[in-house]
Chains A and B, each alone.
Chain A
Amino acid sequence: MPFIPHTEDEINEMLSVIGIDSIENLFDEIPAHLKAGGLKNVPPGLNEMSINRLMQQRAAEDGQPLCFMGAGAYDHHIPAAVWQITTRGEYYTAYTPYQAEASQGTLQLTYEFQSMMTALTALDVSNASLYDGATAMAEAVLMAVRSNRKSKSRKILVPRSVNPAYTKVTETMVKHQNIELVEVAFDTATSKTSQDSLNAFNGEDITAVVISQPNFFGTLEDVDAITNWAHENNIIVIAIVNPLSLSILKPPGQWGETGADIAVGDGQPLGAPMSSGGPYYGFMCCKKEFVRQMPGRIVGRTVDQEGREGFVLTLQAREQHIRRSKATSNICTNQGLVVTASTIHMSLLGPEGLKQTALSCHNNTQQLVEKLTAINGVELVFDQPRFHEAVIKLNKPAAEVLGKLAQQNILGGVDLSEHFPELENCILVCATELRIAEDIETFASALAEALK
């Protein structure tokens, strides 16, 4: 039996210590008619050789297409050392660091992670991560409601240019807490959240506003103006940002006069492979006055009885195992292993490496846009300053064109018409540092062909 080390002799000795004849006796309390009859949909066990073969076949079946899709998951280079160290048993198979003395590795690493996230976002504190960027947005909304003493409405302004998946998840998570998510339209020419559409809420009691930088379409928003407007109206600012972009874009802590209040996003671009959407991690940073309302684990630095530096989970009174029904959230895990990888990734790249990667993404995307819009039948939709992603419109149905490209093992982009019906035949394209000139050429040729 896989992974069960007991020999016949050992089983018999153990049974006699317990004082029973057979293992079955240990299940005597279970009503006989409830005992499972056998598993019909679980095939017989495979040996390692066979499961290897099966999984290699399945992985190969999906190929490794040339990827120009973004929309919240990005194909970046991850240095070899990152996952080699992350999958060391001491990190891979460690538990949550509740026994601090036996977990200083994980705890110190997490403290370093928190420090790096505060550095990137230019905010005061970070937690040890949440499940993903979408749930981090939901948690930020709940946190803003708890934190904004000047507001009673529980109304949150959510631009339609925020990643629709994030908004959907937020809807699911806040549904039963009397919170209203109010949609704010984007300017059809630029995709930006216009000051006019925000001014429509002047004088109303609004609890928080969400600003995504860049927005879902890759367009850069006027973050300073929006932040200042929000603060003038006692509205908490929730920033959703791509952490890689923060190496070259102004970080949320420096938006407007006093900075965004809470910043969240997905850490996937920093060391997590695309892997069908997970595991990633959501990061959350905030100004220090909000720290006690922040959900999730937080690691603090302290000293031991001999004055040596040590690390420990702190402010646990916010969490479920102590507050139970009065907890700030029911969250129990963080995304520990992925945070480990991300911390090592950020250390290997450093501020210069991240900056170069971000610049490379920006340049490659601009190249991509140039090459694609040179094709007959392709036009750029939002001609605005952008980072890393762009929207192009095709003169044929997007689904059909993307299908043809997929058959040639090219993922050309994300069809936007599902969530934005007015953006007919529009696709969201993205080029990371990995999509070099040769790849862009391949895509452009295939697209030109598909549009003939």
Chain B
Amino acid sequence: MLIFEHSAKGRKTKIQSTSGNEMPTDIPASLLREDKPGLPEVSEMQAVRHYTSLSQKNFSIDTHFYPLGSCTMKHNPRVCNSLAMLPGFLSRHPLAPEQNSQGFMACMYELQEMLCDVTGMAGFSLTPMAGAQGEFAGVAMIRAYHDAKGDFERKEILVPDAAHGTNPATATMCGFSVKEIPTLDDGDIDLDALKAAVGPQTAGLMLTNPSTLGVFERKIEEIAKTVHQAGGLLYYDGANLNAILGKIRPGDMGFDVIHSNLHKTFSTPHGGGGPGSGAIGVAERLKPFMPLPVVAKENDAYRWLTEKDCPQSIGRMSAFMGNAGVLLRAYVYMRLLGNEGMQRVSEFATLNANYMMAQLKKRGFQAAIPDRYASHEFIITLKKQAKELNVSAMDFAKRLLDLGYHAPTTYFPLLVPECLLIEPTESEAREALDGFVEALVQIQHEAETDAEMLHNAPYTMPVNRLDEVRAARQLDLAWSASREA
């Protein structure tokens, strides 16, 4: 039932009422609302019961193992939330004067500094509100850099064919055309194709390392050299930073600009779809173009850098300074991990991934790139099951829900047919990994003996497979009293 269906006309929560009652006489009647908006009219108990019950229909990291490749579903420490929500932080107005904001700004400045250190970059801006916005900032800076040099012919951005969809979408938003570079079977980008593709029209290459295939780009230094020699810049998609955190730094690999996903690597909450944070880091030559605001420290006091300080900035990307509350959570997380802890993240994320991959291979599953170690994630391909048993990756994913596991990422990257991209993260204990392996083994057995059953999984969720075609054809996107009548 929807919350509206619990409503009764005139029902309300009295303790939330305040003093206003009469419509204003100092506003012309033609500007006032005449009807009553169709919002729920329920008691506090009804609202609490409704939204608490709804929450219980969700899978979440707090309740289930969630090995979603490329999403880094690691544990979200509770203290990050409680400290970001201290009243002194929650009640700060974004435009409060600097002298009343030194506590908050200290956290932001130190976060910038720590992010520079772990990524090997010279400057960081915390303002982009999601990875995709970080990508936009990065590509816009590449454009600003070339334009500032009078290099207006650089109109093309290169992306690997295995890239996340946001990469080409971002390039288009910044007015570039996109050219795809193929990936080889061993997971590395086709360096020969890259060399043939670069030229005076190349603005840059967008890359993830490790790539979306879950393996390290071994020729990264040559890739960097190739792009730089042609006059282009190198952009790092930080989605997979968890694989190398503390071990190698994108700046050292030759990247000029990176975005980080604080909601992945730095454990800020996924929240059912957001808010994220896509803080971006830059090499020295791109510092003048960083989006504002950025926190600076001068004589022991913190201040915001503005357009006067950074006349070449690509501009502002948020009404204020981005997802501040998310940034505070990331700050607390990084302080908890500290120097030592930061360096262990990638080790254990990689250990867990390789352990799972080894176990699955032993139990008969096919890894997409079997002869290399996994990074923090790996791909299993179910193309054999699809061909011989008529059971797809989607069927496996849905059945996993019945067995108490959120499915891994399916059908991404697009290059590998019937794939499951599995990323356990470092916070999972061995038992969780073993349990997941057993679940896949059970489903394989079911595929061999009762494939039909799998086609209609899941069976134990609040709903089973939904009619998505109908959802798109018979659009029902909002409840309204008139529609239901």
Contacts and interface: CB of A to CB of B under 8 A. Distances in A.
A219 to B, nearest CB: 11
Contact of B31 (A275, A317, A385): A385
Contacts of B475: 125, 288, 291, 300, 314-315
B277 to A, nearest CB: 8
B47 interface: yes
Contact of B339 (A43, A135, A326, A327): A43
B365 interface: no
Contacts of A247: 33, 37
Contact-size category for A: 35 or more
Interface in B267-311: 269-276, 291
Given A56-B86, A63-B88, A41 B116 contact: yes
B88 A34 contact: no
A341 B13 CA distance: 17
B336 A90 contact: no
A119 interface: yes
A290 to B, nearest CB: 12
Nearest to B54: A105
Contacts of A34: 221, 248, 252-253
Given A65-B100, A95-B73, A330 B52 contact: no
Q: Which of A118, A330, A360 gathers most chain B CB within 10 Å?
A: A330
Contacts of B120: 36
A72 B355 CA distance: 50
B243 to A, nearest CB: 10
Contact of B140 (A133, A175, A356, A402): A175
B477 A298 contact: yes
Interface in B156-173: 164-166, 168-173
B319 interface: yes
24 contacts: A3-B427, A18-B358, A30-B248, A43-B339, A65-B93, A85-B55, A92-B76, A92-B81, A105-B56, A112-B2, A115-B479, A117-B478, A169-B315, A172-B140, A249-B31, A250-B30, A276-B324, A278-B326, A280-B319, A304-B467, A315-B475, A317-B472, A339-B273, A406-B96
Contacts of A288: 475
A51 B335 contact: yes
Main secondary structure of the interface of B (DSSP, over half): loop
B336 A48 contact: yes
Contact of B22 (A27, A51, A91, A359): A359
Given A73-B93, A299-B477, A45 B103 contact: no
Given A275-B89, A327-B169, A58 B62 contact: no
B471 A312 contact: yes
Given A27-B350, A59-B103, A304-B463, A48 B79 contact: yes
A283 interface: no
Contact of A322 (B33, B165, B172, B351): B165
A424 interface: no
Q: Give the residue among A110, A165, A220, A337 with the most B Cβ atoms within 10 A.
A: A337
B214 interface: no
Given A17-B355, A356-B21, A169 B270 contact: no
Given A223-B31, A359-B24, A306 B338 contact: no
Nearest to B338: A45
B324 A303 contact: no
A204 interface: no
Interface residues on B, range: 35 or more
A114 B478 contact: yes
B11 to A, nearest CB: 8
Contacts of A314: 468, 471-472, 475, 477
B406 A350 contact: no
Given A329-B173, A433-B18, A337 B248 contact: no
Interface string A32-66: 00111011111111111001101111111111110
A71 B77 CA distance: 33
B320 interface: yes
Contacts of B71: 95
Interface string A102-121: 11111011111011111110
Nearest to A248: B33
Contacts of A60: 88, 103
Given A56-B86, A112-B3, A356-B20, A95 B66 contact: yes
Which residue, A75, A172, A308, has most C-beta atoms of chain B within 10 A?
Answer: A172
Contact of B397 (A29, A42, A99): A99
B321 A277 contact: yes
Q: Which of B36, B40, B345 has the most CB of A within 10 A?
A: B40
A90 B216 contact: no
B30 to A, nearest CB: 7
A19 B474 CA distance: 54
A26 B322 CA distance: 37
Contacts of A327: 165, 169, 172
